[in-house]
């Protein structure tokens, strides 16, 4: 079995690593919702630890090292299959057919992969997909920001020294947990992500046409984009949005958009329709608010609109989290590209067949609402894209729900209109999310019952990166060549060789893991303001 040297190289002063599964379980948050650990998750955790103990004994391996291995990840996915009744064996593993896949759907984990790292590696990482993560975040404390670059200057030190943090021990009280060092480490060094999109947060606009918040303003995002790419030897591994709130003093928002576009350039405009300076949101098909914004997007030559829908943050207008405006807006503005963040997902809504989960008023909920507005406006395969951030992180704990979630998006939006997103740093490294999606298939039964297409490797390649590459005008093959030969990729290979390639295995979520921490983060966001 393949060893993980980083487990042996840890300092004695480090806190002992928790004995946990390598998948995202327990209580966690993306800063917008708080997911409370469920009894089902506690059962999953117990079953994974028991199965890992059994398999580790069979192969003569320490249980902690087994959990940190690819076989530990395969075992975890097999347990998820078992809980949901997927897989065609009693232990949740699959019996590959002639095409190498089971017909039962779920995570394709052959039995030998749960006890052999080489076999597990073939399942989890054999397909070298080009991955563009359309939704990544971090935040930085005001004091730390000003200490590091009081006049917009560079970080102290050279190369990657200022950006790397390989210590998995983090607590929310230390903002470095979700700061730039963790970002580079987890997104670009501890995952297979090729290009990451750095996105911001809603904020009031100041009188000088800048964002009033210190939580990664447009200036901050551009600074970090350039710093990361410079440290990577000039290879463009990070692109950034420009955060816009067209319902907050539009004349200043327009001035800010022009300044950001001219000074930094940007890939897309990020907006939060459920947010407003007085608490009220806005609609994407509101001619008075949205149309001037869209017109200015065109005038500046950047026609990608990334809109938050679904999860309403505390204090947000829940009504305007509804994606019902997406279809009319996209139909009215066919030259614009609308990327709907989170796929309009709502926490706590079970993913099942389209139209089967209605609220008290008989209305559709969650992803179904996005499918509905696309269907009603005949937009399949056109200019509306579903982004998977946080939605996938929640549904992959249930392979049955995961199949419905992906199946509905494929059926109603189309295979060319789904984009990968992880919303990490909040959840740590996106690698477990990546490995889970690599192994997912949709069962023949669900395909027959609900008209879902099969989830093939060709479709996964589109979702992982080729759809986003088309939106951004990136040649994925040429880009992959530059990424693979870049300084950051060389460093990743060196770290993999010295420490092992699964350094994320025992990570804790970088975001809040208790309701107290979640409330603390909201309070910190509320009172962090730039002077002036």
**DSSP characters over 283-321:** -TT-TTTHHHHHHHHHHTT--EEEEE-SSPPTTS-GGGG
Condensed to tens digits (0 to 9), the pLDDT of residues 318-357 reads: 999 999 999 999 999 999 999 999 999 999 999 999 999 9
Condensed to tens digits (0 to 9), the pLDDT of residues 175-216 reads: 556 778 788 889 999 999 999 999 988 888 999 988 886 577
How high is the pLDDT of residue 142? 47
How high is the pLDDT of residue 163? 58
How high is the pLDDT of residue 154? 45
Structure tokens at 248: 């907050």
Structure tokens at 408: 């509905």
pLDDT band with cut points at 50, 70 and 90 for residue 419:
very high
What is the distance between the alpha carbons of residues 310 and 325, in angstroms, rounded to a whole number? 12
Condensed to tens digits (0 to 9), the pLDDT of residues 225-280 reads: 998 888 777 788 999 999 999 999 999 999 999 999 999 999 999 999 999 998 89
Select the highest-mean-pLDDT range: 141-150, 209-218, 411-420, 476-485. 411-420
**H or E, element range at 387:** strand 384-387
Domains of the chain, CATH where assigned: 5-126+492-522 (no CATH), 132-152+164-487 (3.20.20.140)
**H or E, element range at 461:** helix 457-461
Condensed to tens digits (0 to 9), the pLDDT of residues 392-414 reads: 999 999 999 999 999 999 999 99
| Neighbouring residues of 413: CB distance < 8 A, sequence distance ≥ 6 | 370, 371, 374, 379, 380, 381, 384, 385, 386
Least confident of 129-138, 310-319, 385-394: 310-319
Average pLDDT, the chain: 87
What is the distance between the alpha carbons of residues 269 and 386, in angstroms, rounded to a whole number? 16
Cβ atoms within 10 A of the Cβ of 82, count?
21
Selected residue with higher pLDDT from 100 and 104: 104
Cβ atoms within 10 A of the Cβ of 376, count?
12
pTM: 0.93
Structure tokens at 306: 């990334």
What is the distance between the alpha carbons of residues 29 and 215, in angstroms, rounded to a whole number? 17
Residue 72 and residue 435 in contact, taking contact as beta carbons nearer than 8 Å: no
Selected residue with higher pLDDT from 483 and 53: 53
With H, G, I as helix, E, B as strand and everything else as coil, classify residue 242.
strand
Condensed to tens digits (0 to 9), the pLDDT of residues 426-467 reads: 898 999 999 999 999 999 999 999 999 999 999 999 999 999
């Amino acid at each position: 079995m393949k060893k993980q040297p980083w487990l042996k190289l840890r300092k004695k002063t480090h806190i002992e690593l928790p004995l946990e599964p390598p998948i995202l379980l327990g209580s966690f948050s993306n800063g917008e919702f708080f997911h409370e650990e469920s009894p089902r998750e506690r059962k999953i955790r117990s079953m994974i630890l028991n199965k890992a103990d059994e398999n580790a004994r069979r192969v003569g391996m320490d249980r902690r090292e087994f959990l940190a291995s690819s076989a530990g990840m395969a075992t975890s996915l097999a347990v998820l299959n078992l809980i949901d009744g997927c897989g065609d064996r009693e232990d949740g593993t699959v019996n590959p057919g002639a095409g190498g896949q089971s017909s039962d759907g779920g995570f394709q984990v052959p039995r030998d992969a749960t006890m052999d790292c080489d076999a597990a590696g073939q399942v989890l990482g054999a397909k070298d997909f080009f991955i563009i993560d359309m939704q990544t975040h971090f935040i930085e404390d005001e004091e730390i920001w000003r200490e590091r670059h009081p006049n917009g200057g560079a970080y102290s030190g050279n190369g990657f020294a200022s950006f790397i943090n390989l210590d998995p021990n983090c607590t929310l009280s230390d903002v470095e947990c979700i700061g730039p060092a963790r970002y580079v480490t987890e997104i670009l060094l501890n995952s297979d992500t090729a290009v990451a999109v750095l996105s911001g947060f809603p904020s009031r606009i100041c009188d000088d046409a800048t964002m009033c918040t210190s939580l990664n303003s447009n200036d901050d995002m551009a600074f970090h984009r350039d710093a990361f790419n410079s440290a990577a030897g000039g290879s463009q591994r990070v692109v950034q949005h420009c955060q816009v709130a067209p319902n907050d003093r539009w004349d200043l928002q327009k001035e800010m958009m022009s300044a950001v576009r001219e000074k930094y350039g940007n890939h897309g405009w990020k907006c939060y329709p459920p947010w407003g300076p007085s608490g009220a949101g806005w609609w994407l098909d509101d001619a008075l608010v949205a149309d001037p914004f869209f017109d200015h997007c065109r005038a500046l030559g950047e026609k990608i609109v990334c809109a938050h829908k679904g999860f309403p943050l505390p204090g947000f207008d829940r009504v305007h989290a509804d994606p019902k405006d997406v279809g009319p807006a996209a139909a009215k503005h066919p030259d614009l590209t609308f990327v709907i963040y989170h796929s309009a997902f709502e926490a706590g809504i079970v993913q099942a067949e389209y139209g089967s989960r209605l609220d008290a008023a008989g209305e559709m909920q969650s992803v179904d609402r996005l499918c509905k507005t696309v269907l009603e406006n005949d937009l399949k395969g056109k200019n509306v894209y579903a982004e998977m951030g946080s939605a996938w992180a929640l549904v992959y704990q249930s392979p049955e729900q995961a199949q419905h979630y992906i199946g509905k998006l494929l059926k109603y939006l189309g295979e060319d209109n789904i984009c990968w997103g992880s919303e990490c740093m909040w959840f740590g490294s996106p690698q477990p999310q990546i490995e889970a999606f690599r192994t997912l298939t949709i069962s023949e039964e669900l395909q027959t019952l609900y008209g879902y297409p099969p989830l093939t490797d060709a479709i996964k390649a589109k979702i992982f990166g080729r759809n986003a590459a088309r939106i951004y005008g990136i040649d994925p093959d040429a880009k992959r060549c530059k990424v693979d030969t870049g300084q950051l990729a060389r460093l990743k290979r060196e770290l993999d060789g010295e420490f092992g390639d699964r350094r994320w295995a025992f990570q804790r979520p970088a975001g809040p893991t208790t309701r107290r921490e979640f409330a603390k983060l909201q309070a910190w966001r509320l009172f962090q303001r730039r002077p002036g």
